[in-house]
Amino acid sequence: MTQKARNKIIIGNWKMNLRMDEASLYLNKLQKMVKGHYKVDIILGPSIFSLQSLSLQLDRRKFKLAAQNFYWRDMGSYTGEVSIAQLKGIVDYAFVGHSERRHVFNESERDIRAKVQSALRSGIKPILCVGETLIERTNNETKDVLFDQVLSGLANVTSSEIREVIIAYEPVWAIGSGESAKANDVKKAVKLIRKQVAYLYGKKAAEDINVIYGGSINKDNAASYLEIEGIDGLMIGGASLNAYQFSDIIETAYNSIKEEK
Ligand code: PGA
């Protein structure tokens, strides 16, 4: 695998945290602390509500924005929803199929598939999150779950669109639990994901696609996950709300590129 050719990606998932004024103060702090790094893509996912004001404040040389959620239709009578077409020009990325959307809000594979396509239609890069629950893991079903979620999420994605997709392996049991996955299990999962992308889109697509890990990452364990073969970056929840930790993780990603050279 030509791992060196792929950028590193560090994503901050702020979830339903920070009011608009707090988000603005936090971004201000982060922009001062974080150096922009060639070859490290830093993506921030604030709440939809703060996106527009943060987009005016954002140093786009350092950061890009992601939508945490959206509805898959472009417009129409869908009270309370925001479409990705409405977020065009504000975000470059969108999370799709995050475990909290799948399991707290019961999003179906059909919703997830439609969202991947909707994002691509609007020129937004989908970050497709996949991962097994604790029960599925205990029952040795991780392989099947990943196979199904990748296959279903990518259904109807063309071979030119696959370049725009990022896949995040996020075991459900590792999210927000303080219990991160074992390096060897992550390595196996990523291999499986790439194998499936190769089966669907060919070897080159599997080598080029960015696959990242998420689940209880902090500044102390980030380096060990960035070392795992096939892992191009990290999706960070809790620790992304701490500017010191988040900027430290970004530096770690940058240093991991230097070490690869
Ligand atoms: P966590 O969240 O880092 O708090 O475990 C990760 C995520 O939800 O992507």
Each residue's pLDDT, cut to its tens digit, for the chain (261 residues) gives 444 468 999 999 999 999 999 999 999 999 999 988 889 999 999 999 999 999 999 999 999 999 999 999 999 999 999 999 999 999 999 999 999 999 999 999 999 999 999 999 999 999 999 999 999 999 999 999 999 999 999 999 999 999 999 999 999 999 988 888 899 999 999 999 999 999 999 999 999 999 999 999 999 999 999 999 999 999 999 999 999 999 999 999 999 987 776
DSSP 8-class letter at 158? -
pLDDT for residue 2? 43
Q: Which atom of ligand 1 is nearest to the CA of 175?
A: 5
Residues annotated catalytic, as ranges = 98, 170
Nearest CA to ligand 1 atom 7: 237
**Ligand 1 contact, 196 CB (< 6 A):** no
Q: Is 127 in the pocket of ligand 1 (CB under 6 A)?
A: no
What is the whole-number distance in angstroms between the Cα of residue 209 and the centre of ligand 1?
Answer: 21
Please report the pLDDT score of residue 66 as a whole number. 98
Verify whether ligand 1 is closer than 6 Å to residue 175 (CB atom).
Answer: yes
**What is the reported pLDDT for 1?**
44
Contacts of 238 (CB under 8 A, 6+ apart): 176, 216, 218
Look up residue 43 and give its two tokens. 């993506």
Tokens encoding 149: 């979620």
Exposure string over 225-252, b if 16+ CB within 10 A, otherwise e: bbebebbbbbbbbbbbbebebbbbbbbb
Residue 209's identity, in one-letter code, is I
CA 32 / ligand 1 centre spacing (Å)? 24
Is the CB of residue 215 below 6 angstroms from any atom belonging to ligand 1? yes
Which residue out of 100, 175, 221, 240 has the highest number of ligand 1 atoms within 8 Å of its CB and is therefore the one to mutate?
175
**3-class secondary-structure state, position 184:** helix
15 vs 75: CA distance, rounded Å: 24
Interatomic CA distance for residues 205 and 41, integer angstroms: 19
Q: Which atom of ligand 1 is nearest to the CA of 177?
A: 5
